Homo-oligomer: A and B are copies of this chain.
Amino acid sequence: MLDVAYEILDAEGVDGLTVRGLAAKLGVAATAIYWHVGDKQALLDALVDRIIADVGEVEVHGTDPAERLVTIGRSLRNNLLAQPHLIALVHRQGRTPVMFLAAQRVVAEELESAGLRGAEAALGVHAFLRHVIGSVILERTEERAPEQRETVEELWSREDVPIDPELAARLAQPVDRDELFDFSLRTLVDALTGTNDSAHE
């Protein structure tokens, strides 16, 4: 039954998953759901638990800690982007922070082998995860948003823009999301681990 709910959610999104629809697909009266799982709230909670277990696994590659952290970030991002409807539900349920937990440990290990300790390391762990997950959630909303291109272009093509024309031109265009994610992840990781090569062009 949770399987069927999972299917509907993945295919039709959060709003497409209704108690009545689920019951229909199960060939059962709507009220039968209540006997098994309780509330719709309870249903969603059970689903979220399952999703978080699926999405928590991360891959780690590379030799030095900075490189390994970058691959962790990319892996997390890929997991999250792969199932947009699922993470939308997790976020709607206010359980996004729990998605951190699975990855916290592995991030902590890497920051430690980069030499961080105690309070600084703890802040680093949270900063890393918050940046990754926050970025991905924003990416997701960007994808499903009505592209407001006109507004942006208008903003940057006015005469009185006080900045470098090349910068203005670039800001008037859509950003390459992969490139941006890599850039900001790298910047943050380098800063956290103290790696100070600027050789990532």
Question: Do A131 and B135 have beta carbons less than 8 Å apart?
Answer: yes
Whole-angstrom distance between the alpha carbons of A142 and B94 in the complex?
7
**Known contacts A94-B141, A109-B163, A152-B101, A170 near B118 by CB under 8 Å:** yes
Question: Do B180 and A191 have beta carbons less than 8 Å apart?
Answer: no
Main secondary structure of the interface of A (DSSP, over half): helix
Question: Do B123 and A183 have beta carbons less than 8 Å apart?
Answer: yes
User: Smallest CB–CB gap between A188 and chain B, Å?
Assistant: 6
Whole-angstrom distance between the alpha carbons of A47 and B187 in the complex?
36
Chain B proximity mask over A59-90: 1 for CB below 8 Å, otherwise 0: 00000000000000000000000000000000
Q: A94-B144, A127-B187 are in contact. List 17 more A-B contacts (CB 8 A).
A: A96-B142, A98-B145, A105-B163, A109-B162, A117-B164, A118-B164, A118-B170, A122-B175, A123-B180, A126-B175, A130-B134, A130-B138, A130-B184, A131-B131, A131-B184, A137-B137, A187-B188
Contact for A170 among B119, B134, B192, CB less than 8 A: B119
Question: Do B97 and A141 have beta carbons less than 8 Å apart?
Answer: yes
Chain B proximity mask over A171-201: 1 for CB below 8 Å, otherwise 0: 1000100011001100110111000100000
Give the nearest-CB partner of A196 in chain B: B196
Q: Which residues of B contact A163 (CB under 8 A)?
A: 105, 108-109, 112
Give the nearest-CB partner of A198 in chain B: B194
Contact for A164 among B121, B146, B148, B183, CB less than 8 A: B121
Give the nearest-CB partner of A180 in chain B: B126
User: Smallest CB–CB gap between A74 and chain B, Å?
Assistant: 16
Question: Do B94 and A145 have beta carbons less than 8 Å apart?
Answer: yes
**Known contacts A105-B155, A138-B137, A166-B117, A125 near B94 by CB under 8 Å:** no
Give the nearest-CB partner of A127 in chain B: B184
User: Smallest CB–CB gap between A43 and chain B, Å?
Assistant: 16
Q: Which residues of B contact A152 (CB under 8 A)?
A: 101
